[in-house]
Amino acid sequence: MPERIYNFSPGPAVLPYEVLEQAAKDVVNYQGKGLSILEMSHRSKDFTNVINEAVDLLRELMAIPDNYKILFLQGGASTQFAMVPMNLLGPGKTATYLNTGTWAKKSIKEAKPFGKVVVAYSGEETGFDRVPEQGEYTVAPGSEYLYLVSNNTIFGTQFHQFPDVEPYLVCDMSSDILSREVDVKKFGLIFAGAQKNMGPAGATVVIIREDLLEKTPENVPTMFRYKTHAEKNSLYNTPPCYAIYVIGLVLKWLKGLGGLKVMAEMNQDKADLLYKAIDGTDYYRGHAQKNSRSLMNVTFNLPSPELEAKFIAEATQAGFDGLKGHRSVGGVRASIYNAFPREGVEKLVSFMKAFEQKNRP
């Protein structure tokens, strides 16, 4: 392996090196067939195999029941903010949303034109430092769904349990899909941009329960109807072929590691290391309340913005990239998705200790 920096980017994010190597080979010559994966028709037999394999692996890894469709769409997770209510709401219908951060807020805004939106919880006043417990909010009577963001990438908070609600949950899992096991049956719809835990940017995975495909109002355009894509195995039009292919490689890698249970243990172990370092001193202060801490995005502050800037500058020099907190919150954010190596977390912890010693105010 050539020398690689430790890439703490929140997304697009680090990918397994073996996946990159395989993808690089197939970009030049796909499995010795004399053409690039980039040049292949989406209608070809080879690509049909690529997409079917990705769907089957995702179904297997996440234990997705047969009455759910798996779609690979474009437009990013942000398009789903509108596509969900466009398909599942309508005049006179209600949905309940939990406002746990920037991405939840954006989805609330996008839902409003399509029905009645009830915001049952907002973490805005406490700087989105936690997610709510079930029982702290009420799902509005007659709601079509309860919408939540499983992991708040910017603030570093995460739901460690999903509420049991009727009739079903809709979840933006962009930044923690495939990081742990989830009970898919609780969800009517799950979506996730690929560029954090699944592959490169360009594809958005949607997992949707089949009966919901019938809910879409008549006036929704063809490309924005889930059913259009579900009926054609995501091949109604040209899909994000390359992204789907790389997702397939990542899924194979995950399966080879032992699947989501093993992945979850690895993620817990990595996050514990970092949180232990934060809790071991008053120099670093975690942004999230302890029981809402994200295992994917670890957010923390130093005693001053000046020290934070110095920390990030010196960390970058030392080969740690992407640690700057989101512009809306500042501080430091270490994104340690599935493919981020434990060794990188260990090295960051050593760096933090040394930095503190040299820079105590």
The residue ranges that bind ligand PMP (CB under 6 A) are 11, 76-78, 103, 149, 153, 172, 174-175, 193
Q: Which is nearer to ligand PMP, 40 or 194 (CB)?
A: 194
Q: Measuring CA to CA, which residue among 121, 58, 107 is closest to residue 254?
A: 58
Q: Which is nearer to ligand PMP, 40 or 332 (CB)?
A: 332
Indicate the angle between helix axes 305-317 and 342-358, nearest 10 degrees.
130
Distance, C-alpha 192 to centroid of its chain: 5
Q: Which is nearer to ligand PMP, 80 or 96 (CB)?
A: 80
| Sequence-separated (6 or more) residues with CB below 8 Å from residue 247 | 54, 58, 72, 194, 198, 199, 203, 205
Instruction: Tell me the residue number closest to ligand PMP, measured at CB.
Output: 76
Q: Which is nearer to ligand PMP, 112 or 360 (CB)?
A: 112
Q: Which is nearer to ligand PMP, 78 or 233 (CB)?
A: 78
Q: How far is the CB of 110 from ligand PMP (least distance, A)?
A: 11
Q: How far is the CB of 170 from ligand PMP (least distance, A)?
A: 13
Residues taking part in catalysis = 103, 172, 196
- Report residue 223: phi and psi, to 5°: -70, -20
| Sequence-separated (6 or more) residues with CB below 8 Å from residue 160 | 291, 292
- Residue 157 tokens read as 């908070």
Q: Which is nearer to ligand PMP, 252 or 333 (CB)?
A: 333
Q: How far is the CB of 185 from ligand PMP (least distance, A)?
A: 22
Q: How far is the CB of 84 from ligand PMP (least distance, A)?
A: 12
CA distances to 69, 128, 248, 249, 322 from 17, in Å: 30, 34, 14, 11, 18
DSSP state of 324: B
Q: How far apart are the first and last CA of the chain?
A: 40
Q: How far is the CB of 35 from ligand PMP (least distance, A)?
A: 29
CB 172 within 8 A of CB 103: yes
| Sequence-separated (6 or more) residues with CB below 8 Å from residue 279 | 286
CA distance 141 to 151: 26
Q: How far is the CB of 78 from ligand PMP (least distance, A)?
A: 3
